C-alpha cells in the first residue's frame, strides 16, 4: 500500500500525462479525467487487488475495474501505464490512427482492460455481472466501477441498481465522480439528479460520501466499502471538474476539449513531474 505522499506524487504525474496526451492528440476529455485522477490512483495503488504480471481478462484471482464513463480513457490509460500494464511511452499515441489507445477503451489490445466502454450507463451492469460471477464461483475478490454523475441520468443505471440489490452483491463497489458537470453544463440545469446519496439509499445500497481529492477521505471510503453485509456499495466522491489546473476547474467547457500548446504549458507548470514524463 502506498503512503499519502506517494499517492499524491503518482496523481500529479497522472495529471501531467492526461494534459500531454490530450494536447498531443488534439482531442479527448481532460475535465472528468482530472476530477477522477485521485480516485483511480488510490484504487489501483492502494485498494484494488491487481497485478499486471498475473492479469487475466476473466478476472480470476483478482479484482476487476470497469470505467463506465469510457470517455475518461485518458486517466484510465495513464493509471494503467503508471501501474505497469504497459510502457508509459505508449500514452503519446492516444487517439492516433491504428493505436491501441482508442478514444474509448476496447479489449484485445491493452492488458488491464476487462470491458469495452463508451456507451454511457452500461458499465454498472457489466461490473454487476462480474460480481455475480465471482459469487457463483466462490471467489473472494470484488468488482469496481466508476460512473459519472451525468451518466447517472441513464435508465440502465437504475435497472442494475435494483438487480444488484436483489442478488445481494456486496462484492460490487460502484463509485461516482460527482463533479456536478456534464458536456452541456451543470448537471442540475441539464437533467437534475438531486441528492444522489438519497437515491442510492432508497434503492437499497450502502452509500458512502467522500472527498474525491483527499486521499485520507478516499482510503477511508474504500475501507468502509469492504463491509460484507449483503448490500452493494456506492461511494459518492465529491470532486471538481478539471481539478489541478486552475483554468479548467469547475468549467464544463473542458469536458471534451484539448488544450492548445500554450494552455498545455500553463497546465503543466501547475503540476509537478514526479515519475518522469513519457
pLDDT tens figures, 13-52: 999 999 999 999 999 999 999 999 999 999 999 999 999 9
Checking if the pLDDT of 56 tops 90, the result is yes
Determine the Cα–Cα distance for residues 244 and 11; give it in Å rounded to an integer. 10
Rounded distance between C-alpha atoms, residue 143 and residue 149, angstroms: 19
Distance from C-alpha of 36 to C-alpha of 93, rounded to nearest angstrom: 21
Task: Provide the whole-model pTM.
Answer: 0.97
Residue 190's pLDDT band (cuts 50, 70, 90) = confident
Would you place residue 70 in the very low, low, confident or very high pLDDT band (cuts 50, 70, 90)?
Answer: very high
Average pLDDT, the chain: 96
- What whole-number distance in Å separates Cα of residue 202 and Cα of residue 182? 24
Please give the Cα distance from 191 to 205 (Å, whole number).
22
User: Would you say 239 and 177 are in contact if contact means Cβ atoms under 8 Å apart?
Assistant: yes
Q: Is 90 exceeded by the pLDDT of residue 94?
A: yes
d(CA 80, CA 95): 16
Residue 118: pLDDT band (50, 70, 90) is confident
Percent above pLDDT 90 for the chain:
93
| CATH number listed for the domain at residues 4-268 | 3.40.50.970
The per-residue pLDDT for 192 is: 80
Q: Which residues pair with 182 in a beta bridge?
A: 185
Q: Evaluate if residue 212 carries a pLDDT over 90.
A: yes
The pLDDT, as a whole number, for residue 246 is: 98
How does residue 108 score in pLDDT terms, banded at 50, 70 and 90? confident
Which residues have CB under 8 Å from 98's CB, separation 6+? none
Residue 188: pLDDT band with limits 50, 70, 90: confident
Judge contact between 243 and 267, C-beta under 8 A. Answer: no
pLDDT tops 90 at residue 109: no
**Domain ranges in the chain?**
4-268
Buried b or exposed e, range 226-251, using 16+ CB within 10 angstroms:
eeeeebbbbbbbbbbbbbbbeebbeb
Q: How does pLDDT run across 229-263, given as a tens digit for each residue?
A: 999 999 999 999 999 999 999 999 999 999 999 99
Q: How far apart are CA 19 and CA 259, in angstroms?
A: 8
**Which percentage of the chain shows pLDDT scores above 70?**
100
Average pLDDT of the residues in 52-60: 95
Amino acid at each position: 500500500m502506498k503512503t499519502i505522499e506517494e499517492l499524491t506524487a503518482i496523481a500529479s504525474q497522472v495529471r501531467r500525462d492526461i494534459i500531454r496526451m490530450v494536447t498531443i492528440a488534439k482531442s479527448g476529455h481532460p475535465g472528468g479525467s482530472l476530477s477522477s485522477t485521485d480516485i483511480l490512483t488510490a484504487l489501483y495503488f492502494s485498494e484494488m487487488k491487481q497485478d499486471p504480471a498475473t492479469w487475466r481478462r476473466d478476472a480470476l484471482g483478482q479484482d476487476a475495474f470497469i470505467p463506465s464513463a469510457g470517455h475518461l480513457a485518458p486517466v484510465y490509460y495513464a493509471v494503467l501505464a503508471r501501474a505497469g500494464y504497459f510502457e508509459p511511452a505508449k500514452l503519446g499515441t492516444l487517439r492516433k490512427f491504428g493505436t491501441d489507445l482508442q478514444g474509448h477503451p476496447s479489449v484485445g489490445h491493452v492488458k488491464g482492460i476487462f470491458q469495452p466502454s463508451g456507451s454511457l450507463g452500461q458499465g454498472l451492469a457489466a461490473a454487476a455481472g462480474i460480481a455475480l460471477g465471482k459469487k457463483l464461483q466462490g471467489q473472494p475478490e470484488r468488482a469496481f466501477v466508476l460512473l459519472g454523475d451525468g451518466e447517472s441520468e441513464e435508465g440502465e443505471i437504475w435497472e442494475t441498481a435494483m438487480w444488484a440489490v436483489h442478488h445481494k452483491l456486496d462484492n460490487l463497489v460502484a463509485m461516482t465522480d460527482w463533479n456536478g458537470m456534464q458536456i452541456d453544463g451543470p448537471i442540475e440545469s441539464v437533467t437534475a439528479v438531486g441528492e444522489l446519496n438519497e437515491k442510492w439509499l432508497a434503492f437499497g445500497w450502502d452509500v458512502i460520501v467522500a472527498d474525491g481529492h483527499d486521499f485520507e477521505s478516499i482510503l477511508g471510503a474504500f475501507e468502509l466499502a469492504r463491509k460484507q453485509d449483503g448490500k452493494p456499495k456506492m461511494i459518492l466522491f465529491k470532486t471538481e471538474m478539471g481539478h489541478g489546473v486552475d483554468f479548467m476547474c469547475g468549467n464544463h467547457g473542458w469536458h471534451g476539449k484539448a488544450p492548445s500548446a500554450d494552455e498545455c504549458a500553463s497546465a503543466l507548470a501547475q503540476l509537478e513531474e514526479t515519475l518522469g514524463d513519457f
